[in-house]
């Protein structure tokens, strides 16, 4: 396991605060209120470990398959439905939505290899990530990949806690399947808009692993 670069600053601040709080607690509370001092240490250590775990990158055997669309994120499948596309595409698409809780790994990965033909950031609201309108009204970053004449769209969507979307791609860039495409901090959602003829391999309630689980084939 390694720590993602997006977490370096947050973890450094967390370590400093952990040290300050517990040094002050030790000098002013350890003799008069030892139980309170101990509980404070346990609580702050737990928060620090949670912060570190949030930015973790676990070691995985990533899935590389020519005709497969691989999960761009960890989480839980909360939507599989046919929708009318309202960005980039003008046709109907299959939407697969993955909700990422604060406990999930938050690295986002390219679901396919190919060319980035569209990359657009949208300002927006911070509705809870599972809200039906979060896909169109929340802050989000949309990417379209093109491969062998076919295209899919991936949306990184901010949630009520996630206030920063990181995206590392540029239009015209050639990318590799399962390589990092971005990161969303503190709970969020990722939507895929797939062609209607894509064969879906997951169902609502499934918990895919980013870079590992096959979402669909095309």
Which residues have a catalytic role annotated?
188
Q: List beta partners, residue 184.
A: 165
Q: Which candidate, 144, 151, 147, 152, places its Cα nearest to that of 119? A: 144
Measured distance CA(156)–CA(165) in Å, rounded: 7
Residue 180 dihedral angles phi and psi, to the nearest 5°: -65, 135
What's the DSSP call for residue 107? E
- CB under 8 Å to 141, separation ≥6 — which residues? 119, 120, 121, 122, 155, 156, 165, 167, 182
- The answer to whether 133 touches 156, Cβ cutoff 8 Å, is no
């Amino acid at each position: 396991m390694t720590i993602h670069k997006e977490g370096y600053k947050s973890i450094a601040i967390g370590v400093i605060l952990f040290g300050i709080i517990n040094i002050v607690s030790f000098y002013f509370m350890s003799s008069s209120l030892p139980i309170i001092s101990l509980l404070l240490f346990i609580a702050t250590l737990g928060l620090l470990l949670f912060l570190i775990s949030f930015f973790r990158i676990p070691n995985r055997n990533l899935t590389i398959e020519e005709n497969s669309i691989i999960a761009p994120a960890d989480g839980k499948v909360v939507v599989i439905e046919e929708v009318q596309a309202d960005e980039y595409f003008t046709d109907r698409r299959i939407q697969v939505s993955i909700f990422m809780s604060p406990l999930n790994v938050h690295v986002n990965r390219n679901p396919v290899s190919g060319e980035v033909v569209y990359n657009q950031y949208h300002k927006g609201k911070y509705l809870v990530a599972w809200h039906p309108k979060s896909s169109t009204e929340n802050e989000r970053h949309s990417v379209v990949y093109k491969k062998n004449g076919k295209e899919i769209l991936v949306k990184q969507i901010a949630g009520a806690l996630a206030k920063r979307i990181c995206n590392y791609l540029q239009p015209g860039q050639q990318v590799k399947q399962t390589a990092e495409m971005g990161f969303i901090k503190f709970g969020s959602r990722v939507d895929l808009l797939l062609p209607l003829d894509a064969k879906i391999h997951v169902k609502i309630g499934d918990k895919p692993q980013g870079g590992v689980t096959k979402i669909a084939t095309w």
